[in-house]
Structure 1
Amino acid sequence: MDYSYQRKVQAEARDVVNSQLNLNLIRDFVIDTGVVLNASLFGGKPNYHSNSTPVLVPVINDPSDVAALAKRIDSLSDEALMHEGILQKHHWEAAEFWKNSEGRPLQAPASEGTKGIATVCGQLCGVTNFLMWLILNPEEMKELTSLVGRTFKRYIGACRGFEGKEDLNQLSFASDVSGLMSPEFYDEFCAPHEKDLYEEFAPTGIRYYHSDSNMKQHVGILDKIGVTDVNIGPMISVAEIISQVPAMRIHGQVPPVRVLWQGSTDLVVDSVRQDINDMTSSGADLSQLVVCTAGSVNPGTPLENIEAMLWAAMEFGLLKGNVKESLSSIPVDFDRKEHVNQIS
């Protein structure tokens, strides 16, 4: 909650990226309230741990709790949703701080996207309970996913109205828990609500979907709900994604743990070459690939490995509109199965 300290750390990080990698980060205004901001509007105190991302104290301890939660949230105005919950209040405190200290315009919490339906439900119930109740209490979980979906429609709409971004034609979801569901359950409980939100807020624009989990069996469903851009777990290759959805734009698929963090620079370069080779061999446009990790850059990742990833992207990919020649002749030794051992 120390916004001056946040700003100091952000500025130092930007300086490192600029001086060491010769890159300028596009956005230099970030309000950091943790990954549970969106779910927190339904209630729940955040718990912070030294070795993991924040979680919420569950607000649904029994499936029968869903009805009361729905009654309370549905009674709130659209504007109130932007301020409901502990972290929403901290968000606005930070926004006021930036406005007063740097003249920044107030930024709403969810104009460009939210956590996905499954991840929010996992935060509200506890992930294990949510997955179990999908089987044991499907009606209550259908009401919960419906509640999150219709609330987010009002929530995102209010945020865009506040910022004057009603015409913004893009929307992103981040939902690691989706990959822990079977494709059938994801398709039944969550996908319809995410499709509805995409159609409302990105009718013809970018529909981005991030998940660190194994989404290999979910790609077809993502295509069905109109996703245009994916950044999904490293267990699936560029070739496998493109074979299912030839028009998909892929942000990835360098494995963030075994390759970018723990691997050698040669392994990083080989992983990037494999992704580029997959794209060109499929006949897809190389501009459909954005070279990056299939997930986050982990703390402790060597700077030289990040430099290697950027070098490979420029050496074998597109640079200022020019396509490198002879991409099909790149020898590739990268074995994805050998270098990926993570689910989330």
Structure 2
Amino acid sequence: MSKFTLKKRFENALKGEAFDMVPVCSVTQTGTLELMGMTGAYWPQANYNAEKMASLALAGYEIAGFENVRCPFCTTVLAETLGCTVDEGSIDIQPYVTDFPCKKKKDVRDIAVPDLLLESRRTSVVLDAVEILKGKVGEDVPVVAGVVGPAGLASMLAGMKNYLMWFVTNPEVVEELMGVLTDACIRYANALLERGADAVTLIDSEAGPDIISPQMFETSVFPLYRKFCREVKGLKILHMCGDATAVLDPLADAGFEGISIEEKVGVSFAKEIVGNRVHLIGNVSPSDTLLTKGTDAVMIEAVACLEDGIDILAPGCGLAPHTPLENIKALLRARNTYFSQ
């Protein structure tokens, strides 16, 4: 019997403190069709009902074998709260933005953090789900809550075309928008922690080098991350899709305890860049491996991550809803096999 609870192991892995074996977690979305069928908590209802959200999130731990629970399952919670029009999606399609408020640069001036940010129909559901989850798992299992970051929100509130164009022609407009959105992220993240989350994952792929240049990132986004990390009172993880290698060095100094990386980032090379400044989470491919291959392939890729020094073994991004349950369970089996040798 390990002397470490799952929560203590998770926290120590993020802080660079002693632990017995690498945690197997997901800091990104965990809802799959099989888990929906087993719990009766289906999308889209599980994105809009706290009890169903908690039930599906709990299945990621109790059934799939992740050593944490994680919610929500989509990226539109703050976007809708701040003015985007959102389609609720379906059983295997996450909610998505269909219209946005910042059609012109002048519209940015109208964006503000609502006084009732935490009482919106979307944020209140996630906050309630986090509280339900903490009540069910107690202090032994870590609860992780996802928050879309300022760049991701800016791309939704302005539309991707405007977001990219304004970054080149009027970067001060994007910076103004992201400044307000950062304040919203901070307020929401702290509320999630107060309601029982043990860590928050800031999801901000639109700040990565696949979307904007590393120079733009360092000038316009990095200071906002520093502010977020200073003002959010708990463990903080950044998730960035794509090849984030070019910005790992500054990211390691932003103040996050962990960085969640996709399979496009080489773990051993990333470890050389970040050293002990931040801890790496990932990066078994959710699309190429977990979704489409068998358990043997999952275990091979998971062991490679462990051999390369990953701090927390996890999918490299959110799970596709059609991901086979047995493939998810193979992550835990790979870790247990690796550490029993």
- Do the two structures share a fold, i.e. TM-score over 0.5? yes
Q: Which runs of 4+ in 1 moved over 6 A?
A: 3-6, 93-100
Asked if the contact 2:202–2:237 (Cα under 8 Å) also holds between the matched residues in 1, the reply is yes
Corresponding residue of 2:166: 133
- Which runs of 5 or more residues in structure 1 are unaligned? 105-110, 280-287, 318-323, 326-344
1:36-69 deviations in whole A, cap 9, x for unaligned? 1122332122124454541252110011211233
1:94, distance to aligned residue in structure 2 (A): 8.1
Higher relative contact order (CA 8 A, sep 6+): 2
The answer as to whether partners of 2:50 and 2:125 remain within 8 angstroms in 1 is no
Deviation at 1:151, TM superposition (A): 3.9
Cα distance in 2 for residues equivalent to 1:153 and 1:126:
22
Q: Is 1:63 equivalent to 2:99 in the alignment?
A: no
2:118 to 82, 89, 95: 82
Identity of aligned residues (%): 20
Is contact 1:17-1:24 (8 Å) kept? yes
**Which is greater in Rg?**
1
Which amino acid in structure 2 is aligned with residue 39 of structure 1?
A: A
The one-letter amino acid paired with 1:273 is V
RMSD: 3.7
Q: Counterparts of 1:164 and 1:269 in 2: how far apart (Å)?
A: 35
Letter in 2 for 1:82: L
The answer to whether the Cα contact below 8 Å between 1:171 and 1:198 also exists between their aligned partners in 2 is no
After TM superposition, list the pairs within 5 Å mapping 1:21-32 onto structure 2: 23=65, 27=69
Matching of residue 193 in structure 1 with residue 224 in structure 2:
yes
Match of 1:118 in 2: 151
Distance 1:5 1:42, change over 3 A: closer
Greater CA drift, 89-98 or 145-154:
89-98
The answer as to whether partners of 1:117 and 1:149 remain within 8 angstroms in 2 is yes
Amino acid paired to 2:216? F
TM score, norm. by length of structure 1: 0.69
For the pair 1:277 / 2:313, whether they are aligned, the reply is no
Q: Distance in 2 between matches of 1:225 and 1:209?
A: 10
CA contact (8 A) 1:170 1:206 kept: yes
Instruction: Find 1:43's aligned residue among 68, 76, 83.
Output: 83
- SS in structure 2 of the partner of residue 210 of structure 1: strand
SS at match of 1:190: helix
Aligned to 2:248: 219
Aligned length: 283
Does the CA contact (< 8 Å) of 1:117 and 1:148 recur in 2?
A: yes
Map of 1:342 onto structure 2: none
Partner of 2:313: 291
Q: What is the CA distance between 1:97 and its match in structure 2?
A: 10
Measure how far apart 1:254 and its partner are: 0.6
Query: Normalising by structure 2, what TM-score?
Result: 0.70
* Cα shift at 1:182: 1.5
What do the CA deviations read for 1:67-102 (whole angstroms, capped 9, x no partner)?
Answer: 233xxx26x54xx3323xxxx2354378789999xx
Matches within 5 A, 1:1-344: 2=45, 7=51, 11=55, 18=62, 23=65, 27=69, 34-50=74-90, 51=93, 53-55=95-97, 57-69=99-111, 73=112, 77=115, 80-83=116-119, 88-92=120-124, 114-156=147-189, 159=191, 163=194, 171-179=200-208, 180-202=211-233, 206-247=235-276, 248-279=278-309, 289-317=311-339, 324-325=340-341
Residues in 1 aligned to 2:105 and 2:167: alpha-carbon distance in whole angstroms: 10
